[in-house]
Chains A and B, each alone.
Chain A
Amino acid sequence: MTTDRNEWELLKGLASNDRKSIETIYRTHYSMVQTLVINNSGTSDDARDIFQEALIVLYEKARSGSFELHAQIKTYLYAVSRRLWLKKLSANKRIAGDLANAAETIATEEDLEMYEHRSRDFEMMEEALLHLGEPCKEILESYYLRRKSMTEIAKEFGYTNADNAKNQKYKCLMRLKKIFFGHYNNNNQD
C-alpha cells in the first residue's frame, strides 16, 4: 500500500522536525479542520488554534516513537480536532449542536489525556521560566534548549571565564527547579 508508506514517511518526518513533512501535513488537512470549526460556530482563528493543537498531539505521539495510528492521518486529525473543539465549546458554554451527536470515528481518549497532562507541564515550565527573569532565563535556555556550551555562554553574557558562567548557571538552575517543583509537586498531589 503506497499511501500507508507515504503516511509512515510523513510521520517519521514530523517526529524529526522535518519542515517539508510538517508543511505537507499542514497543507493537506488544514481546510478540513477549518470547515469543521467554522461550521460549528467557530472563527478562522479558532480553527487555526485547534488545528495546531491537533498537530501537536500528532507530533508528540510520533515523537514518542509510535507511528501506529490505526487510522489515516486525516481521520486521526479530524477526530482529535473534533474532540478539542467540543471541549472548547463546552468550556465557553457555547452550543455544540450536531457536532456532539456525531459518532466518534476513532478512539483518541488516551492521546488527548496525555496531551493535556503534558500541556500542564508545559505551562508550568513556561510560567517558572517567566518567573525566573533575566538573565537566568536566557542562560538556561541557551544551555538546555539551544544546547550551547558553557564557554559560548560565558562569551555571550560577558563573563570573564567559563567557571563564573557555570556558577551563575548553577544558581539559576537551583532557583528554576525550586519554582518549578514547587508548582509541580503541588499539582501532582491532588
Chain B
Amino acid sequence: MDERLIQESIERYIRGEMLPEERKFFEELRKSNPGVDQMVVEHTLFLHLMERYGDRRNFKSTLQDVHNELFESGQIRQTQETRIVRLWLKYRKTVAVAASIAGITALAISGITSYFTPKADVTRIEYLNSKVSLLEKGQKSINDKLNKSQTKIPVEAEFKLGGTGFMVDPRGYILTNAHVIANSTVVIVENNKGQQFKTNIVYISPNSDLAFLKIVDSEYKAPPVLPYAISRGNIELGEQIFTLGYPRNEIVYGEGYLSAKTGYLGDTLACQIAVAANPGNSGGPVLDRNGEIIGVLSNRQVQAQGAVFAVRSRNIFMALQEMKSDSSLASIRLPLNSTIKNMDRVQQVKKIQEFIYLVKSY
C-alpha cells in the first residue's frame, strides 16, 4: 500500500500535478532519500519511453490509413505491374528470338542424340573398381596359399574389389571411396613399397561416397607429417590437376584439368575432371599444382572417354563432421598446409606417393 502511494506520488510529481506545498515536501524527500530519487529517475525514463512508444504506434497506424486511403482513391499507385509491362515491351523481340533459337536447338539436339545413341546402356555410370575376374581370383588364391606366411589376407577370403586410398592423418587414417569397400569385411592396404597393413573401417559416408579406414598394424610406423593438404577453397575451371592411383599393382600418375564444377547430371557434391582414369583409380586423390587435394576420384561416364568425376574435397570435411557427431571415435586431423607448394611435379609426386595406398577389400 505504501509502495503504491509512493509510486502514485512520483507519477503526479513527474506530471506536474502536485500543489506547490506538496511539491516542496516531495522535493525534500527526494533529496534526503536516494531510493525515492532513483525511483523518480527511473519512472521519468519509463514514462518518456512509453510516450514515445504511443506516438510511434499512432503514427504508424495513421500512415497505414493514409496509404490505404490514397491508394483506393487512386492518388498513389503501384508501379510494379507497369514496370513488367515496360520490360516486356522493351525486350519482347529479344525474347521471341531467344525462344525460337532455344526451340530449334532443342529439336536439333534431341534429333542428333537419338541418332547417335546406341540402343543399350544410355549414360550408364560405371564405378572404377576393378571387379576382379575369376581368373585373377584363382591366381590370387594360389598365391595366397604359397605365401601364407607373409600375406595378411585371410585364407578363405575372396578378393572382391580394389581401389586407391590416401592418408589423411599420419596416425594411420586413410580415405577412400565408400563403394571401394562396399560390403567387405576385411580391408587391406598396400603402399608403393609393397608393404601390407590391416585396417579397420572407421566410418562410411554413403551420401558423399567416402570412407575412412584406420591402419591397425604393429608394423605401421606413423610419418611425422603429410606433404599435401586438403583444400577448403574453391576450384577453378581449367585448373591443372594430377592424380595418383593403383589401376594395376603399380602406382600410376595421371595429369589433366578440371572440366566442370559439377558432377554427373549436375551433382554439386562432385566435379568433372579430364584425366585418364582406369578401374582401380577410385578413391585416389585429385591434386592441384600446389599439392592441395581438391577431390577424390570416384567414377566415370561409360561412353565418354575422359569424363571422370571426383567427389569435391569439401565433402571430406563434411563427412568428418558427420562422423564426429555419429561416433565416439578419435578425431581425425586433416592436413591443411601443403609443404610441396613450390616444388616441381616430379618432386611433388616423389613426396606424395608413399602416402597413396592400394586398397583391397575382401
Q: Name A residues whose Cβ lies closer than 8 Å to a Cβ of B.
A: 17, 19, 22-23, 26-27, 30-31, 34-35, 38-39, 43-44, 48, 52, 55-56, 59-60, 63, 118, 121-122, 125-126, 144-145, 166-167, 170, 173-174, 177, 180-181
Contacts and interface: CB of A to CB of B under 8 A. Distances in A.
Q: Which 6 A-B pairs have the closest CB atoms?
A: A145-B54, A125-B53, A44-B78, A30-B76, A44-B80, A170-B4
A118 B48 CA distance: 12
Secondary structure at the A interface, as helix, strand, loop or mixed, is: helix
Interface of B: 4, 7-8, 42, 46-47, 49-60, 62-64, 66-67, 69-70, 75-80, 83
Contacts of B70: 23, 26-27, 30
Contact of B66 (A26, A34, A173): A26
A34 B46 contact: no
A123 to B, nearest CB: 10
Contacts of A177: 42, 46
Contacts of A23: 66, 69-70
Given A26-B67, A44-B79, A181-B42, A118 B54 contact: no
Given A34-B79, A35-B79, A180 B62 contact: no
A38 B79 contact: yes
Given A22-B62, A170-B8, A180-B46, A56 B78 contact: no
Contacts of B51: 144
A121 B66 contact: no
Contacts of A122: 52-53, 56-57
B53 A43 contact: no
A103 B69 CA distance: 35
A16 to B, nearest CB: 11
Contacts of A170: 4, 7-8
Among B46, B53, B69: residue with most chain A CB under 10 A: B53
Nearest to A14: B59
A30 to B, nearest CB: 5
Nearest to A42: B80
A44 to B, nearest CB: 4
Contacts of A26: 63, 66-67, 70, 76
Contacts of B67: 26, 48, 52
Contact of A63 (B47, B55, B60): B55
Contact of A52 (B50, B60, B83): B60
A6 to B, nearest CB: 19
A19 B62 contact: yes
A56 B56 contact: yes
B56 A118 contact: yes
B83 A144 contact: no
Nearest to B4: A170
Contacts of A27: 70, 75-76
A19 to B, nearest CB: 7
Contacts of A121: 49, 52-53
Contacts of A145: 50, 53-54, 57
Contacts of A39: 83
Nearest to A59: B59
A166 B63 contact: no
